[in-house]
């Protein structure tokens, strides 16, 4: 009976499996039909998984559309798959099967785990085969995405964190709206003036967001992980010193104690809504939101560099955002088609449109010479700040950014620690717990790799 | 010889036949029974038992990002989990959450059901209103509450400020976040609980009330002596389902707080999700899932042992 049960069990598994396969076939069949009906026959279909919502999605869709209509050999189907980590989870589930996309957009901290996954073809192969010149791209981006001189993925959307501020609130508080505070200490002072002039408004908001924590570290020249941020060897523990780490916590603690800090927890949308509603005068966020913020604010929005502690020189920022990965095990034709699309995305015209439409900066500096960008700068000079900040960045291991597969977990740990301070917790306790957990996470990740 | 041989055979053969027929029949009935059970066994096997054993298996390993096992660590995942303050917090929050939501949901739903059970004009309207939250998806309800709880432009803080109170960081203050999520959950579960309880109330025979009326029993006496005892099987069902639901809460958390602030709303299912799909530690995630399974199993056994004694079945 047991044998019977086992065989029937296997049969059912088979049935389920077949059903899953056939549904895949039918869905890919549909896309082919779509491709055929749209124009001439035999277009090469490229499935592109991305994580761009809102304004980014609109801009991306229009780029994909113009690529599809610009030639008649390749049909790119852009599919939104949720946030980066959601999309990565889905990808891990289908990797190696026919349902896997031709290319996928993944955030910068996923770089290491994508390489370790063994499911991707390094784009260096295409660069070499094609003789494509990557040196035209922004230097800092090349720094982040080339590992020992090899490109594993194609940079695409890159942003940096900037400080948004409400110019009207600055004026009302007697501050110079054209000279925003640049250091932690200056922000503390500015906060007091703002709250004094308008008790209903808080001075500063820092979303509990691990990415911002990483950026505030890098801006002081601090490493996130040892072994040069994991660039010269596998990291074994955190890379920042106690002084560097605590400077951020103490800064936040001071603002919380002053009553000038607006706590929006981990929710970036709430923070933005609060800023637009005039509840807080300054906040840090990715420059990718700049178009949204500027367009929706009923007041004039200023954009400034990321702040740093007074006793440290500004080092600049790490590239945030995402890159495009070529998936392994796809037919050569499909990969070539995807490569064509990747190259198209790097062209100055496309990058100009992308930069202006979103606030991500152009990874191809030639885009800044395009008329669209010049027009946009004339109208919204704030957009230029993000580009300047990137170009002012000093190249070092700190600003190159960290490489490790446990970074998403590390972010969560830092977010929890920051929230503790936001809610009146002690700096020492929050900080020490976080460091302990961060190190444990690194250890666990190394152990899981069997190293 | 010739005579005796068939005699022996004839006496022996029926006996052997009898035995084997009996066995054959038993096997046949067993096979028939299994045939009827086969669909459910298969479904259970594929969707419950296989994942259960796979989870158990995974909980003894470390995994890579794709969930493939890499290193066997024995009980290390369990030991690490029980030593972790994050897991303690998560267990504490989960039990608090159950405590906040289950009794409140049932009491409010029972109250509404008793009200809506009265035969009044237009009662259908109220019944529809009270069940309406059933038709709202977790995601939609959570987004709706997310805006109500918004720290500065939210409706609830607006009211608090209007009556001169300090506004509250509903989803960002560790003291309030779990309560805020509990309120959302109670609101969402109310419709279903109400509907089931109303159904239970309506199936109580009216002759019981008629005889009580003849005896001159008061309204509350009838409620205590007839309604609640007759409703007990339904109540029992509702309590079990609500507790299990509370332990398995996920959607609201994901949308409202993402487990924050300071992990106070990091309920166990969310914690499992985070371990598996943010941290890619499928081993620890599986260990937590096993713990959740054991807890729900124990809770259910206790409920059946305790509950059945008190429940009145007709």
pLDDT digits over A223-247, tens only?
A: 999 999 988 889 999 999 999 999 9
Asked if A170 and A180 touch (Cβ cutoff 8 Å), the reply is yes
Helix (H, G, I), strand (E, B) or coil at A165: strand
Contacts of B279 in chain A (CB under 8 A): 406, 408-409, 412, 441
Residue A196 has what pLDDT?
A: 93
d(CA B194, CA B107): 10
Residue A2 has what pLDDT?
A: 47
Q: What does the H/E/C string look like for A243-296?
A: HHHHHHHHHHHHHHHHCCEECCCCCHHHHHHHHHCCCEEEEEEEHHHHHHHHHH
For residue B295, what pLDDT band results from cuts at 50, 70 and 90?
Answer: very high
Kindly determine whether residue B261 and residue A419, on different chains, have CB atoms separated by under 8 Å: yes
Of A13, A89, A264, the CB nearest to B151: A264
d(CA A279, CA A265): 15
Of B263, B290, B260, nearest to B84 by C-alpha is: B263
At B138, list the tokens.
């977790």
- pLDDT score of B223 more than 80: yes
Kindly determine whether residue B65 and residue A405, on different chains, have CB atoms separated by under 8 Å: yes
Residue A6 has what pLDDT?
A: 52
Q: What pairing do the DSSP bridges indicate for beta strands A103-107 and A44-50?
A: parallel
Of A9, A266, A422, the CB nearest to B42: A9
| Mean pLDDT score, B34-40 | 92
- pLDDT score of A4 more than 60: no
Per mean pLDDT, which of A23-27, A116-120, B238-242 is the most reliable? Answer: B238-242
Rg (chain A; Cα; Å): 24
CA dihedral B89, A422, A52, A331 (to 10 degrees): -50
- CA torsion sign for B163, B166, B172, B175 is negative
| Mean pLDDT score, A76-104 | 88
* Least confident interval from B138-142, B149-153, B272-276, B308-312: B308-312
Residue A118: closest C-alpha in chain B: B66
d(CA A382, CA A20): 50
* Least confident interval from A127-131, A402-406, B192-196: A402-406
Residue A249 has what pLDDT?
A: 95
Residue A387 has what pLDDT?
A: 85
Contacts of B287 in chain A (CB under 8 A): none
**CB neighbours of B169 closer than 8 A, spacing ≥ 6?**
A263, A265, B151, B176
Residue B1 has what pLDDT?
A: 44
Q: Give chain A's domain count.
A: 1
Query: Which tens digit of pLDDT belongs to each residue from A389-415?
Result: 888 888 888 888 888 888 888 998 999
Kindly determine whether residue A444 and residue B281, on different chains, have CB atoms separated by under 8 Å: yes
**Test mutation, B66, B161, B263, B281, chain A, max A CBs within 10 A:** B66
Q: How far is B237 from chain A (nearest CA, A)?
A: 32
Domain of A324, in residue numbers? 35-159+320-375
- pLDDT score of B244 more than 60: yes
| Mean pLDDT score, A23-47 | 53
Q: Is residue A133 part of a domain?
A: yes
- Ranges of each domain in chain B: 4-58, 85-310
**CB neighbours of A233 closer than 8 A, spacing ≥ 6?**
A227
Rg (chain B; Cα; Å): 28
Residue A276: closest C-alpha in chain B: B153
Q: Which residues 110-129 of A have a C-beta within 8 angstroms of B?
A: 113, 116-117
Residue A38 has what pLDDT?
A: 45
- Chain B residues with at least one Cβ partner in A under 8 Å: 30, 34, 38, 41-42, 45-46, 62-67, 70-71, 73, 85-86, 150-153, 169, 171-174, 257-258, 260-263, 274, 277-281, 283
Helix (H, G, I), strand (E, B) or coil at B235: helix
At B80, list the tokens.
């690490």
d(CA A88, CA A95): 10
For residue A84, what pLDDT band results from cuts at 50, 70 and 90?
Answer: confident
Kindly determine whether residue A449 and residue B70, on different chains, have CB atoms separated by under 8 Å: yes
At the fourth CATH level, the homologous superfamily of domain B85-310 is MetI-like (1.10.3720.10)
| Mean pLDDT score, B57-69 | 85
Kindly determine whether residue B65 and residue A415, on different chains, have CB atoms separated by under 8 Å: no
In A102-206, which ranges are E strands? 103-107, 120-121, 146-147, 150-151, 154-159, 161-166, 202-205
Q: How far is B29 from chain A (nearest CA, A)?
A: 13
Residue B167 has what pLDDT?
A: 82
- pLDDT score of A39 more than 50: no
Q: What percent of chain A has pLDDT over 70?
A: 91
Q: Within 13 Å, how many C-alpha atoms sit on residue A299's CB side?
A: 21
d(CA B235, CA A38): 59
More confident residue, B307 or A247: A247
**Test mutation, B46, B63, B65, B276, chain A, max A CBs within 10 A:** B65
- pLDDT score of A33 more than 80: no
Residue A27 has what pLDDT?
A: 40
Asked if A81 and A90 touch (Cβ cutoff 8 Å), the reply is yes
Bond into B261 cis (ω within 30): yes
Contacts of B171 in chain A (CB under 8 A): 265, 267
Residue B140 has what pLDDT?
A: 92
For residue A35, what pLDDT band results from cuts at 50, 70 and 90?
Answer: very low
At B13, list the tokens.
């053969």
Q: How far is A115 from chain B (nearest CA, A)?
A: 11
Kindly report the CATH number assigned to the domain that includes residue A353. 3.40.190.10
Q: Which residues 66-95 of A have a C-beta within 8 angstroms of B?
A: 85-86, 89, 92, 95
Kindly determine whether residue B152 and residue A279, on different chains, have CB atoms separated by under 8 Å: yes
Asked if A335 and A102 touch (Cβ cutoff 8 Å), the reply is yes
Q: Is residue A94 part of a domain?
A: yes
Residue A118 has what pLDDT?
A: 83
More confident residue, B303 or A42: B303
Residue A30 has what pLDDT?
A: 40
- pLDDT score of A40 more than 80: no
Q: How far is A355 from chain B (nearest CA, A)?
A: 29
Kindly determine whether residue B153 and residue A447, on different chains, have CB atoms separated by under 8 Å: no
Query: Which tens digit of pLDDT belongs to each residue from B155-175?
Result: 898 899 888 888 888 888 888
d(CA A173, CA A178): 13
Q: What percent of chain B has pLDDT over 90?
A: 46
Average pLDDT over chain A reads 86
The CA angle B217-B220-B223, to the nearest 5 degrees, is 95
Query: Which tens digit of pLDDT belongs to each residue from B68-96?
Result: 888 899 898 999 899 988 899 999 999 99
- CA torsion sign for A438, A443, A449, A451 is positive
| Mean pLDDT score, A273-288 | 92
Q: How far is B266 from chain A (nearest CA, A)?
A: 11
């Amino acid at each position: 009976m047991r044998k019977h049960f086992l065989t029937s069990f296997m049969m059912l598994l088979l049935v389920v499996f077949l059903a899953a396969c056939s549904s895949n076939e039918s869905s890919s069949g549909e896309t082919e039909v779509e491709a055929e009906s749209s124009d001439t026959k035999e277009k090469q279909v490229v499935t592109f998984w991305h994580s761009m919502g809102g304004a980014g999605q609109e801009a991306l869709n229009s780029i994909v559309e113009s690529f599809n209509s610009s030639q008649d050999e390749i049909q790119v189907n852009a599919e939104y798959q949720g946030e980066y980590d959601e999309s990565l989870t889905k990808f891990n589930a289908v990797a190696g099967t026919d349902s896997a996309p031709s290319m996928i957009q993944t955030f910068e901290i996923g770089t290491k785990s994508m390489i370790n996954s063994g499911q991707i073809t390094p784009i260096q192969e295409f660069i070499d085969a094609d003789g494509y010149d990557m040196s035209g791209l922004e230097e800092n981006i090349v720094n982040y995405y080339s590992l020992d001189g090899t490109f594993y993925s194609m940079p695409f959307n890159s942003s940096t964190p900037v400080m948004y501020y409400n110019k009207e609130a600055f004026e009302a508080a007697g501050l110079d709206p054209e000279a925003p505070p640049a250091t932690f200490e200056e922000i503390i002072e500015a906060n007091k003036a703002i709250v004094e002039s308008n008790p209903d408004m808080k001075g500063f908001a820092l979303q509990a967001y691990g990415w911002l924590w990483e950026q505030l570290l890098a801006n002081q020249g601090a490493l996130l992980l040892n072994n040069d941020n994991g660039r010269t060897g596998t990291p074994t523990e955190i890379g920042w010193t106690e002084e560097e780490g605590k400077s951020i916590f103490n800064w936040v603690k001071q603002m919380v104690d002053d009553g000038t800090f607006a706590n929006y927890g981990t929710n970036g949308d709430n923070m933005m809504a609060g800023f637009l509603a005039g509840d807080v005068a300054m906040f840090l966020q990715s420059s990718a939101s700049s178009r949204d913020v500027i367009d929706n604010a009923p007041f004039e929005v200023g954009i400034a560099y990321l702040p740093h502690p007074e006793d440290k020189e500004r080092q600049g920022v790490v590239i945030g955002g995402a890159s495009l990965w070529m998936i392994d095990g796809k037919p050569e034709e499909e990969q070539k088609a995807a490569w064509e699309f990747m190259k198209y995305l790097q062209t100055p015209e496309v990058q100009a449109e992308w930069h202006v439409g979103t606030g991500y900066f152009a990874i191809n500096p030639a885009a800044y010479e395009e008329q669209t960008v010049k027009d946009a700068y004339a109208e919204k000079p704030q957009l230029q700040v993000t580009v300047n900040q990137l170009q002012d960045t000093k190249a070092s291991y700190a600003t190159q950014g960290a490489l490790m597969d446990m970074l998403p977990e590390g972010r969560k740990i830092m977010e929890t620690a920051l929230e503790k301070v936001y809610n009146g917790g002690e700096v020492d306790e929050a900080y020490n717990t976080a460091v302990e957990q961060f190190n444990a996470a690194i250890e666990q990740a190394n152990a899981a790799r069997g190293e | 010889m010739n005579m005796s041989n068939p005699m022996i055979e004839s006496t022996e053969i029926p006996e052997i036949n009898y035995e084997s027929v009996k066995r054959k029949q038993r096997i046949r009935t067993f096979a028939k029974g299994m045939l009827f059970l086969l669909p459910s066994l298969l479904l259970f096997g594929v969707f419950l038992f296989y994942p259960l054993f796979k989870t158990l298996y995974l909980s003894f390993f470390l995994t890579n990002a794709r969930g493939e096992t890499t290193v066997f660590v024995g009980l290390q995942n369990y030991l690490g989990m029980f030593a972790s303050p994050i897991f303690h917090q998560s267990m504490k929050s989960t039990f608090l959450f159950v405590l906040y939501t289950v009794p409140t949901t049932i009491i409010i739903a029972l109250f509404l059901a008793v009200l809506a059970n009265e035969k009044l004009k237009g009662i259908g309207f109220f019944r529809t209103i009270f069940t309406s939250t059933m038709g709202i998806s977790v995601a939609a309800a959570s987004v709706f509450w997310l805006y109500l709880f918004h720290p500065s432009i939210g409706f609830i803080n607006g009211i608090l400020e209007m009556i001169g109170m300090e506004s509250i960081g509903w989803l960002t203050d560790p003291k309030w976040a779990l309560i805020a999520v509990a309120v959302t959950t109670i609101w969402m579960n109310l419709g279903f609980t109400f509907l089931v309880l109303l159904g239970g109330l309506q199936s109580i025979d009216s002759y019981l009330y008629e005889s009580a009326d003849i005896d001159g029993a008061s309204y509350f006496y009838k409620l205590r002596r007839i309604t609640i005892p007759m409703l007990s099987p339904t109540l029992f069902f509702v309590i079990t389902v609500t507790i299990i639901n509370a332990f398995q809460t996920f959607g609201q958390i994901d949308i409202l707080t993402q487990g924050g602030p300071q992990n106070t709303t990091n309920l166990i299912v969310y914690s499992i999700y985070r371990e598996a799909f943010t941290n890619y530690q499928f081993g620890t995630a599986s260990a937590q899932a096993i713990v959740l399974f054991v807890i729900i199993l124990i809770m259910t056994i206790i409920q059946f042992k305790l509950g059945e004694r008190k429940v009145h079945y007709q």
